[in-house]
Every structure is written in structure tokens, then in C-alpha cells.
A = this chain, B = another copy of it.
Amino acid sequence: MDGAVKVLAFDVFGTVVDWHGSVVREVQAMELDVDADAFALAWRAGYAPAMQRVMSGELGWTLIDELHRMILDQILEAFGVTHLNEAEKRHLNRAWHRLDPWPDSVEGLKRLKTRYPICTLSNGNIGLLTHMARHAGLPWDCILSAEVFRRYKPHPDTYLGVARVFDLAPEEVMLVAAHQDDLDAARACGLRTAYIERPLEFGTNHPKDVAPNPANTRHATSLTDLARQLGC
């Protein structure tokens, strides 16, 4: 089933780190007079459409840091926040560099790393992912990003790019993610897949369906549960 897996690649936002809770905390710490839950959701909701503008060719290749900033400028206006100066906006935009891990993430990654090389496969840019790893203590062996392949997930070049980087067949790579659409796209490229339940990815007010999809190689309640399942 997954005996041939040689590398684990991880989605990051939502799978390894809690973007919603972390952005809410940053917004509250800056004492913005907004509904922090709604603000975090709006910021994240702008993400897929912004990447689509890049993938359609409307925008040239653009790093997630810049896309986050474009969306931030829009939602600050939409939420009526007008008093932030440039330095404050830059600081807030870098909230995505300071996302906190889920409680099981660091231990789970450390255990998985004892048997498998572990790398990111995120649409986040390399600098963002590197700063996040230092902030959150994520022990990656390697940071792979859409930035390396100049394609965003779910483009096949990203999933197959991991296999190519490590000189492996697609079925020797397992994508670990909390999003079925990401896993579906990886599976279509021949990768093994592991789903991680993150029912509170969108906050406690918006619980997420975490029903298993039997097409996945593994279904785990946490990264430590995945480590247990893989004998780490």
C-alpha cells in the first residue's frame, strides 16, 4: 500500500499550521476594529482566485507574499480599516510567516522524519515557508514550493516535480494534506495520498467535513496518528 513510499511531501496551510487561528490572533494583537474571524476567512478566500489570475496568465508569475498583500489591501478597504501605515501593513502581511503549528505537527514531523525525508509542497513561497519553519519549529529536510516549479498546485508539474527532484517514480511520493482536492490532483499524477483531519481549519465557528475518502492511501486524525500508522 505505502511500502514503496520514499518521500513524504506536505501541504502546509491548514495541514501543518493553523492559518485561521494564527491570523485571528495577529488581527486581535493589532487591535484592528474588525470581526477577526471574518477577516481571516476573507483573506484566505481571496487566495485561490488570486492564484487563478496567475495561472490564467492575467498576472505574471507572482509570489504568495505579493498575492497576500494584494488581497490584504482589498480587504482592509472592505472592512473599513484605513489607519494602518505601510510598516504596519507589511507586518500584518507577514502574519503568514508566523503561523502556529497544530499541537501535533512538530512531534508528528519529527517522528515521520526518522524514516522518511520530509518536504513541503506548498503554494507558499520559499522565504515564507522558511521563516514559518523557524517560527514554528518545523523540522523540514527540504522546502519545496510552487516557486521552485513556477506552477501552483493543483498543476501536475508540482506533484510530479517532487518525484523528479528526488529521482523517484510518482508512486514513491506520498502527499500529506487536509484537503481532498489537493489529494485528488496528486493521486491523478500517480502519487500516494494521506488525508489529515483538520476539522477546525476554518475556526471553531465553521467546522469542516473530514469524512474519509477511500481513494486515499491513508486517513489520519493528526500527524502523530499518521506517524503511528507508518510505524514511526
Contacts and interface: CB of A to CB of B under 8 A. Distances in A.
Interface residues of A, number: 20
A16 to B, nearest CB: 16
Contacts of A117: 130-131, 134
- Per DSSP, chain A at the interface is helix
A65 interface: yes
A32 interface: no
A131 B125 CA distance: 22
A197 interface: no
Interface stretch (A17-25, A36-44, A142-150, A179-187): A142-150
A133 interface: yes
Contacts of A127: 165-167
Contacts of A147: 148, 165
A38 B166 CA distance: 30
5 contacts: A65-B167, A117-B134, A126-B148, A130-B141, A141-B143
